[in-house]
Amino acid sequence: MTAHAISVQGVSKIYPGGVHALDGVSIDVRPGEWVAIMGPSGSGKTTLLSILNGLDKPTSGRIQVLGTDTHGFGPDDWAVFRRENIGLVFQQFHLIPYLTAVENVMLAQYYHSMPVREQALAALERVQLAGRGHHLPSQLSGGEQQRVCIARALINDPKIVLADEPTGNLDEENEARVLELFRALHGEGKTLVVVTHDPEIGCAGERIISLSHGKVSKDSATAAGARLATVGGPPGSSGDPCATSAHA
């Protein structure tokens, strides 16, 4: 097992016009760790996640994922690496509107190996949608669509799950269901990196990394992370950011 599931070293992203979305960001994420990326709008959270999943490229710096240096990766390299190792969950669900829920999950299988309907149905059952597999996205609520996205992200058993505002469009009940699913994944040893504005989602994990103006402004263990650190050593600074009202 590699020392870090994800290692980001001095990563910057400069867009045309000289806009620094990221400015020398360095973070490490341990295998099986649940890390929340928080900060105000425009702080670089989504840009960082897009670089981690290969949908965007850094202007400078290095990224290793599962011990693999991605510096020389092109789009095809990233496509292969993602389907073998990374599950993606987005705020916008990105479901194919003319495919049923089970077919949307099977589509992820198709790009990985071979679609198996029974496995896709089992994935939907895991997210409590066993009876909704034949429904189109337009026939599902927002919370149900998000759970289809999670089933799709998990169908190929990824080692890392990257989520961008996964509860941003959900009501309180569906947010709780998604949070329960993330806790189950964490319990199974998946590495989770979740971009969120939601303090409850952020504080459910082990660590909160706060971004401000494209830089890391704080890296703190939560109460859960502090408890685990007594065994393995603290991943971030001491002090629980969830103990106060300031959640980044």
Structure confidence at residue 156 (pLDDT): 86
Domain extent listing, the chain: 31-60+73-239
Would you say residue 219 has pLDDT above 80?
Answer: yes
Q: Measured between alpha carbons, how far is 92 from 168 in angstroms, rounded to an integer? A: 9
> Domain 31-60+73-239 adopts which CATH fold?
Rossmann fold (3.40.50)
**CA separation (Å) from 153 to 40, 113, 122, 150, 163?**
26, 14, 13, 5, 10
DSSP 8-state symbol, 240: -
Helix (H) or strand (E) holding 193: strand 191-195
Structure confidence at residue 248 (pLDDT): 37
Would you say residue 22 has pLDDT above 80?
Answer: yes
Give Cα 233 to chain centroid, integer Å. 23
Residue 243 — pLDDT band, cuts 50, 70, 90? low
Q: Is 3 helix (H, G, I), strand (E, B) or coil?
A: coil
Report the percent of the chain where pLDDT is more than 70.
Answer: 87
Would you say residue 225 has pLDDT above 90?
Answer: no
Tokens of residue 180, six digits: 């329960």
Instruction: Classify the C-alpha dihedral 180-191-41-212 as positive or negative.
Output: positive
Structure confidence at residue 87 (pLDDT): 93
Dihedral angle over CA of 150, 91, 59, 207, nearest 10: -70
User: pLDDT for 96-155, tens place per residue?
Assistant: 999 999 999 988 777 666 567 888 888 999 898 988 999 999 999 988 999 999 999 988
Helix (H) or strand (E) holding 219: strand 215-221
Contact 70, 64 (CB under 8 A): yes
Residue of 225 and 84 predicted with greater confidence:
84
**Which residues make Cβ contacts (< 8 Å) with residue 81, sequence separation at least 6?**
54, 65, 68, 70, 73
User: pLDDT for 154-185, tens place per residue?
Assistant: 888 899 999 999 888 788 888 888 899 999 99
Instruction: Find where tokens 């496995």 sit.
Output: 119
Tokens of residue 187, six digits: 């319990």
